Amino acid sequence: ATRRAPATTRARRRACATRAASEPRSRALFASDDRGIVLYDGVCNLCNGAVNFALRHDRDRARGSVRFAALQSSVGRALLVEAGRDADDISSIVYVEASGTAYAKSEAILRIGRDLLGAPFGGAARVAMWAVPRVVGDWVYDRVADNRYSILGRRDECRFGDDEDDDRFLA
């Protein structure tokens, strides 16, 4: 039989999905750059493929609409803690907006799509935010996230950008 987390734990998990990151690190990261930060699993090939997709389809290719940080990096770990998550929690993508508000799981994916991707992907993300209940989106997200290493494997080291997009990756 499957054991469910106590109601207080479930409520805390939901609450951290939209909890504002605290001042210290996030304020410094957004002081001179208002682009959101996508925290992703740096050793996951599926996650890195999603980052590559985002880079290729960014609606603002010159500047870049968002920045990226591996969950395993010092920036990623600090922002996770500020968003109310464990520093070692690599179970979900997290999107931190310039306001400091952090989103996880399907809501993070849809907000990234809305803010980053040009047509038709950005429009599809806007529709999905309205049409797909978060509980359904999170259920699908959890199934993929739980199997992400078996789907496309994993790397030995985190990706921290390349020459062309190096300024968009935070370590």
Per-residue pLDDT reduced to its tens digit, 36-85: 999 999 999 999 999 988 988 888 888 899 999 999 999 999 999 999 99
Which pLDDT tens digit goes with each residue over 73-120? 999 999 999 999 999 999 999 999 998 899 999 999 999 988 888 667
Query: How many Å apart are CA 15 and CA 48, to the nearest integer?
Result: 27
Residue 67 near residue 34 (C-beta atoms within 8 A)? no
SS3 per residue for 46-100 = HHHHHHHHHHHCECCCCCCCEEEEECCCHHHHHHHHHCCCCCCCCCCCEEECCCC
Residue 91 structure tokens? 């179970």
**Which of 7-16, 111-120, 128-137, 148-157 is least confident?**
7-16
Classify domain 7-150 at the CATH class level. Answer: alpha beta
Instruction: Indicate the domain borders of the chain.
Output: 7-150
Which pLDDT tens digit goes with each residue over 138-149? 999 999 999 999
Q: How many CB atoms lie within 10 A of CB 107?
A: 21
The larger pLDDT score, comparing residue 122 to residue 21, is at: 122
The larger pLDDT score, comparing residue 28 to residue 3, is at: 28
Residue 92 near residue 141 (C-beta atoms within 8 A)? yes
pLDDT at residue 162 in the model: 66
Report whether pLDDT(2) > 70.
Answer: no
Residue 35 near residue 96 (C-beta atoms within 8 A)? no
Query: How many Å apart are CA 70 and CA 87, to the nearest integer?
Result: 12
* CB proximity list for 159: less than 8 A, separation 6 or greater: 42, 48, 51, 70, 169
Residue 61 near residue 116 (C-beta atoms within 8 A)? no
pLDDT at residue 61 in the model: 83
